[in-house]
């Protein structure tokens, strides 16, 4: 099997680390990019203890909320002179109890999960094109089915609701993947875009999130249920990585697909196609988000 160069954001823990472990076991070269420099180094050291000796592991620092960090990270990868065969846009946070903004003034969850990956994919585009048949995989979630985009208040300045901010960010990730593939199809490019979700996967996301007096009863219940499920219920991060590995290494799914486990309300089990929610099926909404993201980041894509 041909070795691939795989870049995983948020790869120091949780689903990202599960993806890194799976790609490492398959013999691919893995770069873990994470805000937590020490965590990324520990992850690389742990993964180096097993797996093929000729599969390279590297740790990189990346703050997706900081445009300068994204630019610097992409520059370091370009200086290596190696293509990027697989880009896993995984990093994200569970929204803090009280609204936080990125240095540019964007709601932090949206800034990291969507705008940061929008910038990163653009910055790594030359390396993706160099690979010839690269794959960009955006991690979304089942919560996208309840989500909407609030273009009139994406930063939640009027009324911040953590669970709603999380839903919006995950919907944006999915819309980015869908719109990217539409543009790739129009340009007849060999790069492919996919979206994936891990089902119910045990991670530490939201572990340190304090309760907010701004949360109503439904929001507190939704937050508590999601946090408990992510920490204590469901499959391991390695099993949660199966949809990502499937779209990265096989021809089973058509580019543009949204893939995840199929059993028990899509919480675990064999990998298959996952239905898009109403907002994710809206092509005009996806195009509008793309244009808005270009305006927010100052980037223009030639896809």
Q: Looking at residue 118, what is its pLDDT?
A: 98
| 222 contacts: CB under 8 Å, gap ≥ 6 | 163
What is the per-residue pLDDT across 254-284, written as a single tens digit (0 to 9) for each?
999 999 998 787 787 899 999 999 999 999 9
> Is residue 99 a contact partner of residue 156, using CB atoms and an 8 Å limit?
yes
Q: Is 94 among the residues known to form the active site?
A: no
Query: Which of 94, 160, 166, 194 does the annotation list as catalytic?
Result: 166
Could you read off the pLDDT tens digit of each residue along the chain, which spans 303 residues? Answer: 689 999 999 999 999 999 999 999 999 999 999 999 999 999 999 999 877 888 999 999 999 999 999 999 999 999 999 999 999 999 999 889 999 999 999 999 999 999 999 999 999 999 999 998 999 999 999 999 889 999 999 999 999 999 999 999 999 999 999 999 999 999 988 999 999 999 998 775 544 334 445 555 545 555 555 555 555 557 899 999 999 999 999 999 999 999 999 878 778 789 999 999 999 999 999 999 999 999 999 999 887
Q: How far is CA 120 from CA 71, 209, 223, 235, in A?
A: 8, 27, 29, 29
Q: Looking at residue 233, what is its pLDDT?
A: 59
Q: Looking at residue 197, what is its pLDDT?
A: 96
What six digits make up the tokens of 158? 């009027």
Q: Looking at residue 206, what is its pLDDT?
A: 44
Q: Looking at residue 204, what is its pLDDT?
A: 59
Cα-based angle 76, 135, 56 (whole degrees, multiple of 5) = 50
CA dihedral over 75, 78, 80, 84, signed as positive or negative: positive
User: Helix count (H) and strand count (E) of the chain?
Assistant: 11, 8
Place of tokens 């797996």: 51
pTM of the model: 0.91
Q: Looking at residue 231, what is its pLDDT?
A: 55
What six digits make up the tokens of 210? 């304090």
């Amino acid at each position: 099997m041909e070795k691939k160069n795989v870049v995983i954001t948020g790869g120091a823990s949780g689903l990202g680390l599960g993806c890194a472990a799976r790609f490492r076991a398959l013999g691919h070269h893995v770069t873990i990019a994470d805000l937590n420099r020490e965590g990324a180094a520990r992850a690389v050291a742990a993964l180096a203890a097993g797996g093929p000796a000729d599969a390279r592991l590297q740790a990189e620092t990346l703050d997706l909320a900081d445009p300068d960090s994204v630019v610097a990270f992409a520059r370091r990868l370009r200086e290596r002179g190696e293509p990027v065969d697989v880009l896993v846009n995984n990093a994200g946070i569970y929204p803090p109890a009280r609204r936080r903004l990125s240095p540019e003034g964007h709601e932090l969850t949206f800034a990291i999960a969507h705008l940061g990956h929008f910038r990163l994919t653009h910055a790594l585009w030359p390396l993706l094109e160099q690979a010839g048949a690269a794959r960009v995989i955006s991690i979304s979630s089942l919560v996208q089915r309840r989500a909407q985009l609030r273009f009139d208040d994406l930063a939640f300045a009027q009324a911040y609701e953590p669970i709603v901010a999380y839903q919006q960010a995950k919907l944006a990730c999915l819309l980015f993947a869908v719109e990217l593939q539409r543009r790739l199809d129009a340009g007849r490019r060999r790069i492919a875009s996919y979206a994936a979700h891990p089902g119910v996967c045990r991670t530490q996301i939201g572990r340190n999130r304090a309760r907010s007096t701004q949360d109503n009863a439904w929001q507190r219940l939704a937050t508590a249920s999601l946090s408990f499920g992510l920490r204590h219920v469901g499959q391991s991060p390695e099993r949660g990585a199966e949809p990502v590995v499937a779209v990265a290494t096989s021809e089973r799914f058509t580019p543009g697909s949204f893939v995840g486990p199929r059993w028990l309300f899509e919480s675990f089990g064999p990998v298959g196609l996952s239905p898009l929610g109403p907002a994710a099926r809206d092509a005009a909404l996806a195009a509008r988000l793309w244009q808005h993201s270009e305006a927010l980041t100052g980037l223009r894509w030639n896809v």
